[in-house]
A = this chain, B = another copy of it.
């Protein structure tokens, strides 16, 4: 993740000072991007709610296996009945001029197919994390979007969240001195029956779902690619029916070229509010929670300076508006997103390396 641009900082400052986003009326202005939301689960609801706070985003179409569910959302977001699709006629989005881009909110194993078909239909893609479930799928997604000359952005929400960006800026400016260690954890107690517990659909367990936040955070905090990824994974209770296919708890360590080391934890068995803790030669930086939809806290203790404690001004679903607006701007200005497919693929490769070190076949 690059340093925030001047424009980012201006937007961050304005937004955070007033905690005010652009009112919905403006979302109807000409230069907006129409999104087709594919899969109407929990994360899709956040994206759609976020669109109401957004500058450049409008919800143009919906794809769902359940027409009734889609119609309910369509009514809320002024989506015309003709722009509601099922999975069987998904490719017909190609003919819908109101759709500029697709937001893929499906189970992980379906990300590749629905991204590639979107690109072939001439649409840009905002794809939820993890990008996919295999490295080959990730490569195919990038190739398909490149071939179709469409943008591919992975929905790494924290790349667009102001306090995470502030942490990155502080580290790049050397305010913590040289970075020694980073700890990060994220986990929750998963509900039985969720598709996330099915390895074919999810690709893996908590690492793919929430551990990826820790992995990605340690990468954007250091600005480096880790080596020496090593982990251990386990199931705390072998009789627990939730963990027949995916791991329950996973811990791993990593090393970075500049000399930092990181240790991370993730779980589907116990709640671990997502956080990171950076220790440098001149002080510490702690975000806890670091990855939530709101209520984020940034605390820094730098030698010889007054301690800083700051809470995020953003309330859910504002972070989702920042994401969709970023891709919208990239489309309108023909720029490459800050979290392109290549970024998602790097995490995929690293997660596969972690699983391999854990002995997963």
- Interface residues, chain A, CB within 8 Å of chain B? 178-181, 183, 185, 187, 228, 230-238, 248-256, 258-265, 267, 269-272, 279-281, 357
Complex contact B230–A270 (CB within 8 A): no
Complex contact B234–A260 (CB within 8 A): yes
Task: Name the CB-closest residue of B to A357.
Answer: B230
Complex contact A178–B265 (CB within 8 A): no
Shortest 5 CB-CB contacts between residues of A and residues of B: A230-B230, A236-B259, A232-B255, A251-B263, A263-B263
Complex contact A238–B265 (CB within 8 A): no
Extra pairs beyond A180-B269, A181-B267, A233-B261 (7, CB < 8 Å) = A180-B236, A183-B185, A234-B261, A235-B259, A250-B261, A251-B254, A251-B261
- Residue from B181, B187, B250, B272 within 8 A of A251 (CB atoms): B181
Complex contact B185–A248 (CB within 8 A): no
- Residue from B236, B248, B254, B281 within 8 A of A236 (CB atoms): B281
Bound complex: CA A321 to CA B357 (Å): 44
- Residue from B232, B237, B271, B281 within 8 A of A228 (CB atoms): B232
- Residue from B262, B263, B279 within 8 A of A270 (CB atoms): B279
Q: Which of A228, A262, A270, A281 has the most CB of B within 10 A?
A: A270
Known: A263-B265, A279-B272. A236 touches B183 (CB 8 A): no
Q: Which of A178, A251, A357 has the most CB of B within 10 A?
A: A251
Known: A251-B253, A270-B281. A236 touches B263 (CB 8 A): no
Complex contact A236–B270 (CB within 8 A): no
For A179, the chain B residues whose CB sits under 8 A away are 236
Bound complex: CA A185 to CA B251 (Å): 14
- Residue from B183, B230, B254, B262 within 8 A of A183 (CB atoms): B183
Complex contact B251–A262 (CB within 8 A): yes
Complex contact B183–A248 (CB within 8 A): no
Complex contact A180–B253 (CB within 8 A): no
Bound complex: CA A265 to CA B179 (Å): 14
- Give, as a whole number of angstroms, the nearest-CB distance from A83 to chain B: 45
Known: A236-B281, A237-B259, A261-B249. A270 touches B181 (CB 8 A): yes
Q: Which of A187, A228, A233, A280 has the most CB of B within 10 A?
A: A228
Bound complex: CA A221 to CA B211 (Å): 25
- Give, as a whole number of angstroms, the nearest-CB distance from A165 to chain B: 24
Bound complex: CA A163 to CA B237 (Å): 28
Task: Name the CB-closest residue of B to A279.
Answer: B270
Bound complex: CA A281 to CA B268 (Å): 11
Bound complex: CA A262 to CA B259 (Å): 22
Bound complex: CA A251 to CA B277 (Å): 14
For A231, the chain B residues whose CB sits under 8 A away are 230, 253
- Give, as a whole number of angstroms, the nearest-CB distance from A97 to chain B: 51
- Residue from B238, B248, B255, B263 within 8 A of A180 (CB atoms): B248
Task: Name the CB-closest residue of B to A180.
Answer: B270
Bound complex: CA A270 to CA B181 (Å): 8
For A183, the chain B residues whose CB sits under 8 A away are 183, 185, 263, 265
In the complex, 28 of the A-B residue pairs with CB atoms within 8 angstroms, ordered by the A residue number, are: A178-B237, A180-B248, A180-B267, A180-B270, A181-B187, A181-B249, A181-B265, A181-B270, A181-B272, A183-B185, A183-B265, A230-B253, A233-B261, A234-B255, A234-B260, A234-B261, A236-B258, A236-B281, A237-B281, A249-B260, A249-B261, A251-B253, A251-B263, A252-B253, A252-B263, A261-B265, A270-B280, A272-B279
